[in-house]
Copies of this chain bind each other. A is one copy, B any other.
């Protein structure tokens, strides 16, 4: 008769109890051998090892975790695992986690606040030791009980909403201001800004940088030069084409992020007159396009690394108040941003 009690459980994996029985020792002795603890005679150890091999035993870390209290895992909620900006951030977090002996659970919010919440809370239910969140929503009070309960939490790329917590950001405002000022310095007076949706913090910060640069140069801003919205190619294309047409078209574009830049490059390549372009975020092959694309570069890997290191410092018991870290951006002139304005 099959033991119906264990039939479909973990495919009948052997447990320490099974190993103990086979080796003819107590449970604690098996535990000692499995964990490399001292105080076992070589002969006993050998018998236990043989039983382990014969049964194909592997310690169940889930059970271990339940008893020990720390799961040695962290959760990362980002916008899209496949995005070329977030993928290196993901990898950087992984490396730091690995250095601290922790596993990484991650998931994509797809820019949906509800999905962000589901993922973050699912990670908390699994009792990750810490959480790194790239916010999709703007209200993170749902994490309050979790943080109080001891789950260290760091936000990256965008600040937490209605919650005081550690956050690691790029200087979106300063980066955009410098990028737009660069276009101004090359003679542009009518500059378009195409950015992400208005509820996204980085989008409005970059727009603020645009306005600051225009104001500093004493240039007026026509409302038709600014367009915030989804970064889907169709939307961006329409926005860019609108700004580039009409009697007083913009002579330069500032693209609010990598996805916008890519579409802007396509539109400009098909445009009748040369149009200058500076994009926020660097991207692969930017230097190989003609013209090569001038960008305001962030360092996504550094964002991830900084956030993860902060998280593990918290896990090591550092209790200083939440801090906001802002990483600098870097303007990389490559050609597209140095094109002079087309003559009217």
A265 touches B288 (CB 8 A): yes
Residue A2 CB within 8 A of the other chain? no
Return chain B residues, CB-CB under 8 Å to A107. Answer: 94, 98, 103-104
Give the contacts of A82-96 with B (CB-CB under 8 A): 82-84, 87-88, 90-91, 94
Instruction: Mark contacts of A251-271 with chain B using CB atoms, 8 A cut-off: 1 yes-contact digit, 0 otherwise.
Output: 000000000001001100100
Across the interface, do A61 and B150 meet the contact criterion of CB distance under 8 Å?
A: no
Structural contact, A91 and B84, CB atoms closer than 8 A: no
Query: Is A69 interfacial (CB 8 A cutoff)?
Result: yes
Are B145 and A126 interface neighbours, CB within 8 A?
no
Tell me which of B13, B126, B149, B284 contacts A149 (CB under 8 A): B13
The answer to whether A126 and B150 have CB atoms under 8 Å apart is no
Distance in Å from the Cβ of A85 to the closest Cβ of chain B?
10
Chain A interface size, as a band, is 35 or more
Residue A197 CB within 8 A of the other chain: no
Contacts A/B (CB < 8 Å), 27 sampled: A10-B149, A10-B150, A11-B149, A11-B150, A56-B145, A58-B124, A58-B125, A60-B127, A62-B65, A66-B66, A81-B90, A81-B91, A82-B88, A82-B91, A84-B284, A87-B87, A98-B107, A103-B107, A103-B123, A104-B105, A262-B284, A262-B285, A266-B288, A283-B285, A284-B284, A288-B289, A290-B290
